């Protein structure tokens, strides 16, 4: 009876634990603001004023965070999923232990009762005490059968033993035959066996055949235990897995560093300002004495001095920082940092269209091909490290580019995104496994443009001077050359379309598709005309590249103003 009571108490504890955890998760998920604010406030207040602070600050936190309860539609599904995972581990772990205790106590639960364990794994449903019901039903079932089982067992045993084919009948016949000397088997047995058989009484012979009653009871108990253990083997495996998971999480939690340091920037350049900020779990840093040392010299000390700033040295000049935190709660914590300033300069070039002998930079237009080159300045052991010995890890617009990264790969070539206004490129430079520098550059995208030049029959296109927006014809005929600026070079030869218009009407000529157009004045008189040109890139990867230009032309005028040839 004592065993049964202990099993029932253990089952009640399992059911109560699961119900409380499910209720807690449901409350937090349904009221994330109120519950979360109260819990956070309690922990914060307890650090300051103990239990009273927990109560006061917890209530204030719950009130302040109440508006966050609007997030309940999102947190409830998360709570259900979390409750499901926790209940599976709890039910499998403690349920398996309960079944093991029941087996050792001689209570074999019915298979149909074990289905209740599935209900214990479901959030909400596990509020029903399935494990308690399983133990109580198993104990009642065994108690009800105990008296009848003893009587039936005795009767069946006697009937089996006394039957001619039973063990007792066979044993008795065998002994009688031995005594009368009428059985061939007895005569054929070895002399030692015949001697033993003559000396044995019928009841002794029966005991040798069937075994002693206590041996049979032990054998039946062993078989029953083996069967039960086979039934709960899957639950036992799941329980071990859950215990391993919980143990790993506990070990990880124990390994959390009480102080985390944030360094800005992590890889300083020469003469750059560096800030180290110590951040701790709870409020113990505010009451701790923190001392900062730079190259062995104390620079800052005091209570709660968790932030320290200094200026990095020159290229390759090492700076050592040592911090000591003395806390009544965490003891003494020390950390060491080492900084060796380095730098990496990024230079870019765009594959876009510009005139021959152009002195300026070919600017990047969205969708064009870009090449970025890294020039690192890394000093190690007093010597400058070659780019071939450095690893360059490139990323573009926040996305790593492993195909373009690696040892000695200081060049990054790619085609830009035609829908982005700029390209953000970052390279991290590593010496071995240590990051020693970082370079960042933002490349803006410009809109393509068009400039008009005059074409001389003898000297060709006069690229030394572009035409202004308004010109006068000095002769009756002039040839213009339109130069597209900053269109993708991959499209310049076959993917650009030129649309010319004179006073709003389309016009063309032999070289119009290559940017050339000849204008002639027919008749006499003076006047003005407006020439417009639209260039469109038809390449699917750069179709957003479009440019427009207009030129006002005065003809038939005899003025001292500059002519189209600039004379």
For 280-320, write each residue's pLDDT tens digit: 877 778 889 999 999 999 999 999 899 999 999 999 899 99
The Cα 275–Cα 269 span in angstroms is 13
* Mean of pLDDT values over 359-380: 95
The per-residue pLDDT for 152 is: 47
pLDDT at 94 over 60: yes
Counting residues of the chain whose pLDDT is more than 70, the rounded percentage is 66
The Cα 355–Cα 335 span in angstroms is 59
The Cα 257–Cα 360 span in angstroms is 54
Q: Running DSSP on this structure, what letter comes out for residue 267?
A: S
State the maximum Cα–Cα separation within the chain, in Å, rounded to a whole number: 160
Cα distances from 240 to residues 57, 228, 280, in angstroms, run 40, 18, 34
**pLDDT tens-digit profile of 404-441?**
999 999 999 999 999 999 999 999 999 999 999 999 99
The per-residue pLDDT for 194 is: 56
Cα distances from 328 to residues 215, 241, 281, 530, in angstroms, run 65, 39, 14, 85
**pLDDT tens-digit profile of 122-172?**
655 666 777 777 778 777 777 766 554 444 444 444 444 444 454 444 444
Report helix, strand or coil for 541. coil
Who has greater pLDDT, 22 or 44? Answer: 22
- Catalogue the E-assigned strands of 420-560: 422-431, 434-444, 449-456, 460-461, 470-472, 477-485, 496-502, 505-507, 516-520, 527-537, 546-555
Who has greater pLDDT, 146 or 442? Answer: 442
Q: Which residues contact 166 (CB under 8 A, 6 or more apart)?
A: 159, 160
Mean pLDDT check: name the lowest of 246-255, 474-483, 551-560. Answer: 246-255
Q: Taking the alpha carbons of 107, 111, 116, 121 in that order, is the dihedral positive or negative?
A: positive
What confidence category does residue 121 fall into, taking pLDDT thresholds of 50, 70 and 90? low
The per-residue pLDDT for 65 is: 62
The Cα 91–Cα 443 span in angstroms is 58
Who has greater pLDDT, 191 or 421? Answer: 421
Quote the pTM value: 0.53
- Catalogue the E-assigned strands of 133-199: none
Mean pLDDT of the chain: 77
The per-residue pLDDT for 205 is: 43
Q: Running DSSP on this structure, what letter comes out for residue 488?
A: B
Quote the tokens at residue 567.
Answer: 């004379």
Most confident range (mean pLDDT) of 97-106, 361-370, 517-526 is 361-370
The Cα 243–Cα 262 span in angstroms is 35
Do 564 and 474 form a contact (C-beta atoms < 8 A)? yes
Query: Hey, what domains does the chain have and what are their CATH numbers?
Result: 2-144 (no CATH), 149-252 (no CATH), 259-339 (2.60.40.10), 343-444 (2.60.40.10), 449-555 (2.60.40.10)
**pLDDT tens-digit profile of 218-265?**
566 556 555 555 555 554 554 455 555 445 444 444 456 788 899 999
The per-residue pLDDT for 422 is: 96
Quote the tokens at residue 474.
Answer: 């000095």
Quote the tokens at residue 515.
Answer: 């940017």
Mean pLDDT check: name the lowest of 8-12, 241-245, 442-446. Answer: 241-245
The Cα 286–Cα 418 span in angstroms is 51
Do 519 and 480 form a contact (C-beta atoms < 8 A)? yes
**pLDDT tens-digit profile of 329-363?**
888 999 999 999 999 999 999 999 999 989 999 99
């Amino acid at each position: 009876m004592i065993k049964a009571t202990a099993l029932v108490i253990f089952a009640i504890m399992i059911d109560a634990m699961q119900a409380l955890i499910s209720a807690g998760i449901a409350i937090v998920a349904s009221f994330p603001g109120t519950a979360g604010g109260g819990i956070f406030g309690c922990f914060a207040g307890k650090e300051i004023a103990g239990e009273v602070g927990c109560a006061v600050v917890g209530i204030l936190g719950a009130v302040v965070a109440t508006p966050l309860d609007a997030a309940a539609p999102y947190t409830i599904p998360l709570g259900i999923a979390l409750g499901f995972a926790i209940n599976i581990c709890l039910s499998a772990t403690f349920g398996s232990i309960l079944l093991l205790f029941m087996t050792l106590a001689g209570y074999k639960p019915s298979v149909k009762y074990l289905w209740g364990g599935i209900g214990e794994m479901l959030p909400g449903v596990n509020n029903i005490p399935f494990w308690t019901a399983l133990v109580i039903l198993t104990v009642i079932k065994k108690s009800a059968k105990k008296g009848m089982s003893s009587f039936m067992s005795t009767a069946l045993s006697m009937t089996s033993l006394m039957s001619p084919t039973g063990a007792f009948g066979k044993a008795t016949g065998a002994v009688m035959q031995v005594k009368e000397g009428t059985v061939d088997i007895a005569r054929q047995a070895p002399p030692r066996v015949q001697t033993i058989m003559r000396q044995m009484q019928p009841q002794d012979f029966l005991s040798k055949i069937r075994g002693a009653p206590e041996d049979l009871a032990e054998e039946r108990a062993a078989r029953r235990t083996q069967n039960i253990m086979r039934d709960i083997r899957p639950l036992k495996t799941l329980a071990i897995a859950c215990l391993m998971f919980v143990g790993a999480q506990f070990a990880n939690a124990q390994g959390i560093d009480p102080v985390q340091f944030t360094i800005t920037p992590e890889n300083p350049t020469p003469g750059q300002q560096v800030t180290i900020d110590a951040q701790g779990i709870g409020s113990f840093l505010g009451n701790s004495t923190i001392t900062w040392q730079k190259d062995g010299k104390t620079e800052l000390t005091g209570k709660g001095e968790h932030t320290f700033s200094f200026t990095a040295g020159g290229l390759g000049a090492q700076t050592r920082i040592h911090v000591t935190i003395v806390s009544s709660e965490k003891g003494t914590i020390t950390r060491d940092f080492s900084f060796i300033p380095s730098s990496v300069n990024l230079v870019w070039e765009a594959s876009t269209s510009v005139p021959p002998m152009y002195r300026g930079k070919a600017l990047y237009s969205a969708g064009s091909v870009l090449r970025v080159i890294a020039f690192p300045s890394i000093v190690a052991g007093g010597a400058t490290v070659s780019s071939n010995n450095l690893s360059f890890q490139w990323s573009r617009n926040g996305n790593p580019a492993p195909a373009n990264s690696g040892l000695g790969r200081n060049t990054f070539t790619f085609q830009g995104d035609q829908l982005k206004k700029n390209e953000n490129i970052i390279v991290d430079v590593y010496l071995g496994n240590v990051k020693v520098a970082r370079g960042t550059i933002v490349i803006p995208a410009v809109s393509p443009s068009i400039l008009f030049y005059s074409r001389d029959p003898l000297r060709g296109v006069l690229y030394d001077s572009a035409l202004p927006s308004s010109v006068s014809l000095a002769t009756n005929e002039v040839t213009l050359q339109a130069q597209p600026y900053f269109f993708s070079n991959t499209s310049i030869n076959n993917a650009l379309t030129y649309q010319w218009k004179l006073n709003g009407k389309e016009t063309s000529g032999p070289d119009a598709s290559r940017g050339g157009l000849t204008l002639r004045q027919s008749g006499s008189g003076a006047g003005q005309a407006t020439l417009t040109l639209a260039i469109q890139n038809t390449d699917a990867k750069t179709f957003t590249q479009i440019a427009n230009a207009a030129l006002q032309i005065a003809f038939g005028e005899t003025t001292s103003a500059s002519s189209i040839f600039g004379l």
